[in-house]
């Protein structure tokens, strides 16, 4: 496995890779969810590049960036074990050289949900992902479905900027009790960890109601609200039942819906979602 930091070293290493090349962009502190992206990438591509970069511009709160967990040596051992070909760990100066002033901003699809609650977040994501794409020149890129809106934003950006890259969304990896895997889960104390299963429980309750014929968006949002509100450690940031194609809230589900949640468990903000299929 080759490990590089500078752009020149990346470009040189990239030349030695057999095509097709896949990229798995990450912010490190890897868990099974990331490894499932790497495994999916290995199935589809001849060479796999993983980037590790805690992107400061997508954190709208300084404290969130400060507590974001990091362990590069452990990450490298995990990636080596998965048979990754190249790991790029750019520095802040590589991604944001002094005087940096060029941004990628995606339109309407980036506005609701995470975009509304975390102003500037998707501007940071779209900018860094487009820089990763430009530098690595992959044919395929893998992202986790846990960040459903991120996937939608990146697909939109890829179409709009004509990047010749296929975007693949990989299903959410979950702990045994249903909690979606996330680097942020380590910030939960044992009591909060127990409480955090409430996100999955709320989504499952909505799915059961939907499978039983409920098609009213408000009824599903209310059902999830009741379940979350019954958990004293949880507070709601948003709850949504939206059209997956544009993320606009639905009054009535005519075909599919994306139900998604952002919930604080103590000080830790967790997100989760599922698709209600036709």
Q: Can you give the binding site for ligand PAF, defined by CB under 6 A?
A: 25-27, 55, 58, 125, 128-129, 147, 150
Encoding tokens for residue 45?
Answer: 């591509």
Phi/psi of residue 259, each to 5°? -100, 130
CB of 225 to ligand PAF, least distance (A): 27
Instruction: Let me know if 251 is exposed, middle or buried by CB neighbors in 10 A (0-12, 13-18, 19+).
Output: exposed
Q: Are 269 and 237 in contact (CB under 8 A)?
A: yes
Catalytic annotation present for 34 = yes
Report the alpha-carbon distance of residue 15 to residue 275 in Å, rounded: 39
Q: Residue 138, by phi and psi: left (phi above 0), alpha (psi -120 to 50) or beta?
A: beta
Cα-Cα-Cα-Cα dihedral sign, residues 239, 241, 247, 250: negative
Would you give the DSSP letter of residue 255? Answer: S
In Å, what is the CA distance from 18 to each residue of 9, 14, 47, 48, 74?
17, 9, 6, 10, 26
CB of 146 to ligand PAF, least distance (A): 8
Of 34, 42, 121, 184, which residue is the catalytic one? 34
CB of 27 to ligand PAF, least distance (A): 4
For ligand PAF, the closer of residues 184 and 221 by Cβ is 184
For ligand PAF, the closer of residues 16 and 159 by Cβ is 159
Q: Are 42 and 170 in contact (CB under 8 A)?
A: no
For ligand PAF, the closer of residues 167 and 241 by Cβ is 167
CB of 51 to ligand PAF, least distance (A): 7
For ligand PAF, the closer of residues 154 and 224 by Cβ is 154
Active site residues: 34
């Amino acid at each position: 496995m080759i490990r590089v930091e500078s752009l020149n070293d990346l470009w040189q290493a990239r030349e030695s890779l057999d095509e097709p090349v896949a990229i798995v962009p990450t912010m490190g502190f890897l868990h099974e969810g990331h490894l499932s992206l790497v495994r999916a990438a290995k199935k589809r591509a001849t060479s796999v590049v993983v980037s590790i970069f805690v992107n400061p511009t997508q954190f709208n709160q300084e404290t969130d960036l400060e507590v974001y967990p990091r362990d590069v040596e452990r990450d490298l051992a995990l990636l080596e074990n998965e048979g990754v070909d190249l790991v790029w760990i750019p520095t802040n100066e590589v991604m944001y050289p002094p005087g940096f002033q060029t941004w990628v901003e995606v339109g309407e699809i980036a506005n609701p949900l995470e975009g509304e609650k975390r102003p500037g977040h998707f501007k940071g994501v779209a900018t860094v992902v487009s820089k990763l794409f430009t530098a690595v020149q992959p044919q395929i890129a893998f992202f986790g479905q846990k960040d459903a809106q991120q996937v939608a934003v990146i697909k939109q950006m890829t179409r709009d900027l004509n990047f010749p890259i296929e975007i693949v969304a990989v299903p959410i990896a979950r702990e045994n009790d249903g909690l979606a895997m996330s680097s942020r889960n380590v910030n939960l104390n044992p009591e909060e960890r127990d409480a955090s299963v409430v996100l999955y429980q709320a989504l499952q309750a909505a799915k059961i109601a939907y499978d039983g014929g409920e098609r009213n968006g408000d009824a599903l949002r209310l059902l999830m609200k009741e379940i979350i509100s019954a958990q004293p450690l949880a507070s709601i940031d948003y709850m949504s039942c939206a059209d997956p194609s544009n993320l606009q809230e639905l009054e009535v589900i005519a075909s599919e819906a994306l139900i998604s949640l952002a919930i604080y468990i103590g000080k830790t903000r967790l997100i989760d979602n599922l698709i209600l299929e036709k």
